[in-house]
Structure 1
């Protein structure tokens, strides 16, 4: 029901988000290569073939299959102005049934960091997840010392939920992560109105 039937494009004020294509390889490889030291402290260790065309081809095939099955929604992020690749964001591990949830992951190329692009992209992906896919919950995690990522998540409506110990291998080591979540129609932190108080 929720699988992709055509390429999903998500426009924002300054950006276009769309699934990866094989023709994106040169821009993707250049952005990842130029951002290696910027991304290394926050990502799992890259495989030896990470920047190869063959590995990117597998990534694109995975994306197409995952969207067709409704299991993940990977988007590359481009500027409207000149088509520059800003980064990527993925809704992954989509769970249907009782959960109706997904996990959010993202990265920004060094050349486009601190311009508000990822805030704009995540806001649109959140809208897409809740309004179009009708998910109930989005989850995201980051390293405790990643102040920029924590602030970004909080800015787009995610709330801190706790710490997962040895959650992922990052830069070759098992690392704790702080966990955040956003809920559709989130009421956490709201002061109950009079009607709600009467019902409790």
Structure 2
């Protein structure tokens, strides 16, 4: 069995959230959040597998997240509300490229009951700060469906600049769909009012 106890990472803390790696014990809360938000989430995501909610599938997600973090390939984090320790969504910095690129891609989702309350903007600001600081990246990219006004508004409010449209960029809900592309650079100053994150040690269990 894989063990990551030797390198338990810090959580990224914001005023209302703790962003941390997923744990096996999160399965019930994650499954409930995704089931309750299925109609809200499916139109914006790749087709869910037939075993999407299974414990085995979730365990694989957890191990991938911890391994990817260890290898420096991705940082997949759950959004935990600090007031009641409730899981409300997730955000992932994926496809981390080093060398000449020093870049990565960000993706996110939040349960419908927690949407439009500023949680994801708070989480995105914290992850951007961590990426440009601790991870020493220079560019963060994002893509969303053209009609996803909420996601586009979030990215633009978070200092991401529109860079164009990519045809048939990803399969979403079973169909190849165009996406609009955004990016934020480390030297961008157009979202300087967004609060930066702070890092503290999290009490993460070994998955």
Structure 2 unaligned residues grouped into runs of 5+: 1-5, 191-207
User: Matched residues in 2 for 1:159 and 1:5: separation?
Assistant: 35
The alignment status of 1:139 with 2:141, answered yes or no, reads yes
C-alpha RMSD of matched pairs (Å): 1.2
Q: Match of 2:94, SS? A: strand
Partner of 1:194: none
User: Matched residues in 2 for 1:49 and 1:6: separation?
Assistant: 28
The alignment status of 1:122 with 2:127, answered yes or no, reads no
Q: How many residues align?
A: 185
Asked which structure has the greater RCO (Cα within 8 Å, sep 6+), the reply is: 2
Partner of 2:99: 97
Runs (4+) of structure 1 exceeding 6 A deviation are: none
User: Matched residues in 1 for 2:73 and 2:25: separation?
Assistant: 23
Structure 1 unaligned residues grouped into runs of 5+: 189-200
The alignment status of 1:73 with 2:44, answered yes or no, reads no
Which of 44, 47, 67 is the aligned partner of 1:45?
47
Q: Match of 2:10, SS? A: coil
Partner of 2:170: 168
User: Matched residues in 2 for 1:140 and 1:8: separation?
Assistant: 24
The normalised TM-score by structure 2 is 0.87
Rg bigger for which structure? 1
Partner of 1:32: 34
Partner of 1:155: 157
